[in-house]
Structures are given as structure tokens and as C-alpha cells.
Amino acid sequence: MNGNRLRRFCLIDAPRAAVVAFLALSLVACRSTELTSAGLLPYAQTGTPAIALGEPEIRGASTLVLDYQSGRTLYADAEDGLRYPASLTKMMTLYLLFETVESGKLSLGSELVVSENAAAQVPSKLGLKPGSTIRVVDAAQALAVKSANDVATTIAENLGGSEPAFAAAMTAKARSLGMRHTNFANASGLPHPLQVSTARDMATLARALLARFPAYAPMFSKTGFDYGGRHYQATNKLLGKVPGVDGLKTGYIRDSGFHLIATAKRGGRRILVVVMGGKTGRERDAYMVELIDRYLGAAPVVAFSGAPSYAPGIAVE
């Protein structure tokens, strides 16, 4: 980003980006970043490498329903069974990205550089070009809504110096959050034999993500977003259709089956539901709705509206 363009962004576009993203965070000074061998994460080079935890069950089904506030288990089935997390992985990619912004090493307006490797990732993707850049705020929204693999690798390479180093940092963070049965080998969730997790660990990650970074929660509730002259629909088809549902993340690869983690609130109570290994997206969604109705009661006549709130005393606008 040249000096004139950078100054223009800092003066004009950054406030607009913050409003569009509904973020109540103070932006640090605008800066761009470059791909370096060191990366921006101090622990990326000394993170916890992935180790073999066992062989995940192919398309194994797992279910976990938690009371969001207390973390109490309301229902569980095979919640500790090893599974391929697919794009649920991107919750950790976002966790480390938000953490980096919070530290002041990046701002929402910082530009991330796209490498040839990142641009070559398979769909789902935005189609980023090698040598181009993408703002942090757009990258985060692309992961939350579109689950773009080229964006995930771009984040990994800019923050970690390389995707393997970033994956080691992801695994180290997982351990610090209490995710004992999770390994990360990449930032996207694309197939890798060492990329494993469980429904319980993914629920732990989802609660930690929302609890630590509540101002970013609206990113997960969007039904679509615009980038590069195109409109992208959210992969979470329950948003805007099932009353009370206001996040979080979908995932799918052939060996994982169809995953969905959803948060929902009705009558003042919020739950977090994990469904992994659905045979089809439609079957997974139907089961998710059944669980939400079971533990929150039947949907009200008036559909849910408004921004979600995940922590007392923190307004999400």
C-alpha cells in the first residue's frame, strides 16, 4: 500500500470499516504488513507442533449442547470422538487474528499480502490474486461468512511467517484453552491427517472466541457480505431463517461430513450447539433446529432481530 493510499484509508475508510463490521473496538494506527519468515506471532516459531492423537472416524457423528453462560452440558453424544474439524478450524484462525489486532500489531485496516500459495488454495475462496492485499476487516468477514480458504492461508502466512508455523501457534493456543484432543496442521481445515478435534474441543473454542472478542460477534451473524464487486452468501443457512440463531460456523470436507456450530438465544437464555458429521447439509440443519427447539423451547412467532450480546457490560453495535 503506497503512502497516499495508506493516508486516505486511515482518514476515510477505517471508520467506515468499523461501522460496517459493527465493532466497538478502538482501532490502532493503520499499517500494512509484509510476509516475513518471522511473522507477527511471538510464539509461532516455538508453538506446539501437531502430533498423532489417533485416527478420526470418517464422517463420525458428534453432538454437544451447552448452556452458553455456565458451560453446563445439556446433551452430549460422542462429544470426545476424534473428528476432522474441516472449516470449524477457521474459528481458531480468527481467534489468533483478533488477538493480533487486540495486541496492536495490526489494525482492522491493515493490509495482508496474498502469496502464490495462498491464491492457489482450493475453493471455497474469494479468488485473491498473488501480490494483492486484503484488509484485516475484510479477511475476517470472509472467513466468518464465506469460509474462504485463500483468505485463511493469507492470514496464516502474514501472522505466522508460514502456514506450518501458524498451525503450530494454533495448536499451542488450543492447549492453553484446554482443547486437549485437537491438532491443527493448517489454517483452513482442508484435509490433513493430523488436523483433528472433537465436538467438546470445538465448543470450548467457540465459547472462548465469543467470550474474549464479543465485539466481533456480529461478523458471524451476517447472512452475506460484499467484496470485490461480488456478493457472497453465508454458508450458515439458518441465519435469518431460524428465530434466535445468530452465529457461528459451518464446516465440510468429504471425510468430516457436514458440521455446524450455532449459537441461539430465546427467552433470555443462550445455548451453543455443535453438530458434526451430518450426512447432508439439510439433515445437519434439521437436526440443529430440532436441538435448538428442544433446549430453548419452540420458536416465537416474531423472528429474532438485533445484534447478539455475549458478555455483560459489553455492547455490540
Catalytic residues: 87, 90, 147
Task: Convert 49-70 into a string of H (helix), E (strand) and C (coil).
Answer: CCCCCCCCCCCCCEEEEEECCC
Contacts of 251 (CB under 8 A, 6+ apart): 85, 86, 87, 88, 89, 147, 189, 258, 259, 260
CB 41, CB 29: distance < 8 Å = no
Quote the distance between the C-alpha of residue 77 and its chain's center. 23
Identity of the amino acid at 170: M
Q: Is 148 helix (H, G, I), strand (E, B) or coil?
A: coil
Longest dimension (CA), the chain: 56
Q: Is the peptide bond before 88 cis (omega within 30 degrees of 0)?
A: no
Angle at 18 between CA 13 and CA 19, to 5 degrees: 100
Beta bridge partners of 263: 247, 272
Phi and psi, residue 40, nearest 5°: -105, -10
Q: E-assigned strands of 167-312?
A: 224-227, 230-233, 245-253, 257-266, 269-278
